[in-house]
Amino acid sequence: MQLPLCLDMSRRRNLQRQLFEQIRELIIDGRLKPGVQLPASRVLAQDLGVSRNTVIQAYGVLVAEGYLEMRPPVGTFVAAIALPHAASPHQEAMPLPPPSPPRLLLHYKGKPHVVMSPYPQPVAFDFWVGRPDARLFPILNWARSIKKRLRYLQDGNSGYGDPAGLWDLRKAIADYVGVARGVQAEPCDVLVVNGIQEGLSLMAQLFIGEGTGVVVENPCYMGAANVFASRGARLLPVSVDTHGLCVDELPESATLAYLTPSHQYPTGATLSMARRERLLEWAQSCNTYILEDDYDSDFYYDQAPLPALKSQDESGHVIYMGTFSKSLGAGLRIGYLVLPRHLFEHVLTAKCLLNNSTVWLIQALLADFLATGAYRQHLHQIRMLYAARRSLLACTLLQEIGGEVTGIQSGMHLVWHVPPSLPEASELEQLARAQSVGVYSFPTGNAQVFGRSAERRYARALMMGYAALQESEIQEGVRRLSRLVG
């Protein structure tokens, strides 16, 4: 097979690099499909007029990065990675397709993998993780507020707003995180974003380039790991146990560390006080910024939660991220960052470049909701309901099936460790789905697990969200599960 390669012979010293890049390009844009055999190194070297060693070395790097695979003694093949629109190598030659849209290639240990949308189809009894109960949305309050805001509409909708966010909302957020999370912030420290996901993208844009070291928890929230990896970060996974991140395993240096200290995603562990102190010392000593993702800390049940890590940050190394996705709904797309002051202008510039500002009306409504105290009442009401649902789910699982449940002290999901007599989590997930019950092994529940030993450790762990289900739905869901395995 003749490959469409064209080397610049005047740059003889990097022929191997040119060859590597051109073959990789052919694979990435789908012209070389998974399973296709490449010419033998001797043949390709002859065709191109280069040494065989050059070809062998370029092939070697492509193998190491996961683009090619050796199948001795047959030859070298394009690796079977799932490229979109990848056709089988046996298909008839087709006219060249229009240029394919750019894809994000994610890397872990040099191996590329494609971003997948793990959002599963809804089922009747869906224990999907982190979803609030839409039936409890404060519709009447918001309807009143919309009317009022629209009646007094001035230029809120006709001009670009302050990219840092509506001042009223920034003030209300600063007040709220001070009381609820112990975070001392002025409105000028708060930047409104379109959900934590946008906050993560801003951070990645500012801090991450090819090979930047980023500490992530193992297992880790996939939405964050994907953002970092898409910018070429070198992910540095650190294990998690019942006290949260194992700080003894922190690397000697890193540019960023992304953590969920209050309710580790997905295991539900809370980072202990002793470890928080060690972590902050580490961040200071290696000048690492910590991204504290406090996604579901509004929900605590048996005792008051520990304050946010940010509340202990005296040296300005913690960037705090909060969201209203869990308390009000992810569809609103609104969250916030509390930034060390010296970073504010930089993050603001990144936000301007991205989208100039967050939707004005939603910010205004949320500002009203917070400032009038209605948000606190709303939280109080749903917290009680979610607490009851959590207890019901934990008890019925243990009574009707067994195993162990963890991560129940706060948040909106628990982790059910399936008893050894039952199939592993991924199989149980499939069996349950056939009965219209949604339960989630870590990878399907947006949790990335790094390495074989962690995969084994969490092979029997299922995530189950309880906030969005009524008690009768929880009971029926667990009944179906128990029939399945009984």
Ligand X SMILES: Cc1ncc(COP(=O)(O)O)c(C=O)c1O
State the amino acid at position 178 in one-letter form.
Answer: G
Q: Specify the residue, 50 or 338, whose C-beta has the smaller distance to ligand X.
A: 338
Closest by CA to 317, choosing from 337, 345, 343, 350, is: 343
| Binding-site string for ligand X from residue 68 to residue 107, where x marks contact by CB under 6 A and - marks none | ----------------------------------------
Q: Does 260 bind ligand X (CB under 6 A)?
A: yes
* 189 in contact with ligand X (CB under 6 A): no
Is there a contact between 341 and 189 (Cβ–Cβ < 8 Å)?
yes
Interaction between residue 293 and ligand X (CB under 6 A): yes
- Told to check if 196 binds ligand X by CB under 6 A, we report yes
Given the complex with ligand X, which of 19 and 214 has the nearer CB atom? 214
* C-beta of 322 vs 477, nearer to ligand X: 322
Please report whether residue 34 would count as binding ligand X according to CB under 6 A: no
Work out how close the CB of 252 gets to ligand X at its nearest, in angstroms, rounded to a whole number. 27
> Is position 262 an interface residue for ligand X (rule: CB under 6 A)?
no
Please say which residue, 23 or 129, places its beta carbon nearer to ligand X.
129
Q: Which of 81, 136, 206, 330 binds ligand X (CB under 6 A)?
A: 330
Site string for ligand X, 215-234 (x = CB under 6 A): ------x-x-----------
| CA–CA distance, 174 with 345 (Å, rounded to integer) | 18
Least distance CB 237 / ligand X (angstroms)? 16
In the numeric block, which tokens belong to residue 379? 């939280």
Report residue 51 as tokens. 């040494």
Compute the least distance from the CB of residue 46 to ligand X, in Å: 53
Question: Cα(first)–Cα(last) distance of the chain, in Å?
Answer: 56
Residue nearer to ligand X on the CB measure, 59 or 258: 258
Give yes or no for a contact between 97 and 434, defined as CB atoms under 8 angstroms apart: no
Residues 12-31 that bind ligand X (CB under 6 A): none
| Residue range at the interface with ligand X (CB under 6 A); choices 40-48, 147-155, 194-202, 238-246 | 194-202
Does position 323 interact with ligand X (CB under 6 A)? The reply is yes
Query: If binding is defined by CB under 6 A, does position 410 make contact with ligand X?
Result: no
At closest approach, how far in Å is the CB of 12 from ligand X? 49
CA dihedral 145, 150, 155, 161 (to 10 degrees): 40
Determine the Cα–Cα distance for residues 152 and 150; give it in Å rounded to an integer: 5
Question: By CB under 6 A, is residue 465 in contact with ligand X?
Answer: no
Q: How far is the CB of 322 from ligand X (least distance, A)?
A: 8
User: CB-wise, 267 or 323, nearer to ligand X?
Assistant: 323
Answer whether 183's CB lies under 8 Å from 339's CB. no
Q: Is 195 in the site for ligand X (CB under 6 A)?
A: yes
Q: Tell me the window of 85-93, 138-146, 193-201, 203-211 that interacts with ligand X (CB under 6 A).
A: 193-201
* Shorter beta-carbon distance to ligand X: residue 223 or 477: 223
For the CB of residue 359, give the shortest distance to ligand X in the complex, in Å: 14
User: Which residue's entry shows tokens 């809120």?
Assistant: 156
* DSSP code of residue 381: H
**Of 288, 291, 264, 103, which is closest to residue 193 (Cα–Cα)?**
291
Q: Which is nearer to ligand X, 38 or 469 (CB)?
A: 469
Among 270, 311, 325, 363, binds ligand X (CB under 6 A): 325
Residue nearest to ligand X as judged by C-beta position: 195
Which residues make Cβ contacts (< 8 Å) with residue 469, sequence separation at least 6? 125, 126, 127, 133, 389, 477
d(CA 439, CA 423): 13
How many other CB atoms are found less than 10 A from the CB of residue 116?
Answer: 11
Write out the DSSP string of 36-98. Answer: PBPPPHHHHHHHHTS-HHHHHHHHHHHHHTTSEEEETTTEEEE-----TTPPPTTSPP-PPPS
Count of residues near ligand X by CB under 6 A = 14
Per CB under 6 A, the segment of 47-55, 166-174, 189-197, 356-364 that binds ligand X is: 189-197
Q: Are 486 and 419 a contacting pair, CB within 8 Å? A: no
- CA torsion sign, 207 to 212 to 217 to 219? positive
**What residues form DSSP beta bridges with 336?**
192, 322
Of 41, 67, 79, 130, the one binding ligand X (CB under 6 A) is: 130
Residue from 161, 237, 268, 335 binding ligand X (CB under 6 A):
335
- Closer to ligand X at the Cβ: 67 or 295? 295
Report the length, in residues, of the chain. Answer: 486
Cβ neighbours of residue 127 closer than 8 Å, sequence gap 6 or more: 393, 413, 437, 438, 439, 440, 463, 464, 465, 466, 469, 477
Question: Residues interacting with ligand X, by CB under 6 A?
Answer: 130, 195-197, 221, 223, 260, 265, 293, 295, 323, 325, 330, 335
